[in-house]
Amino acid sequence: MRNFVIWVALAIALIVLPNLVSFSQQEVLVFLTINILVVASYRLLTLTGEWSLGHVVIMGVGAYASALVTKELGLWVPLGIIVGGLASALIALALSVPLFRMKGFYFLIGSFAAGEIIRLLWKRFRDPFGGAKGIKGIDPMPDFSIGIYQFDFFEPVSYFYFSAVVVALCLWILWRIEKSPVGLTFHAVHWQDKLAQASGVNLRRYRTMAFVIASGFAGIAGALLAHYIGTINPNSFDVEVMVFVLTWAIVGGTGTFYGPILGCVVLTILNEIVLRELGLEQTRPLIYGLILILSILFMPNGLESIVQKVTRRKDAK
Q: Which is nearer to other proteins, 6 or 293 (CB)?
A: 293
Q: Which is nearer to other proteins, 14 or 243 (CB)?
A: 243
Q: Which is nearer to other proteins, 81 or 251 (CB)?
A: 251
Q: Residue 247, SS3?
A: helix
- Tell me how long the chain is: 317
Q: 75, 138 in Cβ contact below 8 A?
A: no
Find the angle CA(114)-CA(215)-CA(136) to the nearest 5 degrees.
80
d(CA 41, CA 53): 13
Q: Which is nearer to other proteins, 98 or 128 (CB)?
A: 98
As measured in angstroms, the least distance from the Cβ of 79 to other proteins is 32
- Residues lying near other proteins in the complex (CB under 8 A) are found at 51, 98, 101-102, 105-106, 108-110, 112-114, 116-117, 120-121, 123-124, 239, 243, 246-247, 250, 282-286, 288-293, 296-297, 300
Name the helix (H) or strand (E) containing 144.
strand 144-145
Q: Which is nearer to other proteins, 111 or 215 (CB)?
A: 111
Q: Residue 151, SS3?
A: strand
As measured in angstroms, the least distance from the Cβ of 104 to other proteins is 8
Q: Which is nearer to other proteins, 51 or 151 (CB)?
A: 51
As measured in angstroms, the least distance from the Cβ of 109 to other proteins is 6
Task: Specify the amino acid at residue 86.
Answer: L
CB crowding 4-33: b at 16 or more within 10 Å, else e: eeeeeeeeeebeeebeeeeeebbbbbbbbb
Q: Which is nearer to other proteins, 79 or 109 (CB)?
A: 109
As measured in angstroms, the least distance from the Cβ of 66 to other proteins is 24
As measured in angstroms, the least distance from the Cβ of 270 to other proteins is 15
Q: Which is nearer to other proteins, 79 or 290 (CB)?
A: 290
As measured in angstroms, the least distance from the Cβ of 248 to other proteins is 12
CB crowding 140-168: b at 16 or more within 10 Å, else e: ebeeeeeeeeebebeebbbbbbbbbebbb
Cα pseudo-dihedral 300, 48, 80, 242, rounded to 10? 30
As measured in angstroms, the least distance from the Cβ of 209 to other proteins is 20
Q: What is the largest CA-CA distance in the chain?
A: 64
As measured in angstroms, the least distance from the Cβ of 50 to other proteins is 11
d(CA 14, CA 113): 39
Q: Residue 298, SS3?
A: helix
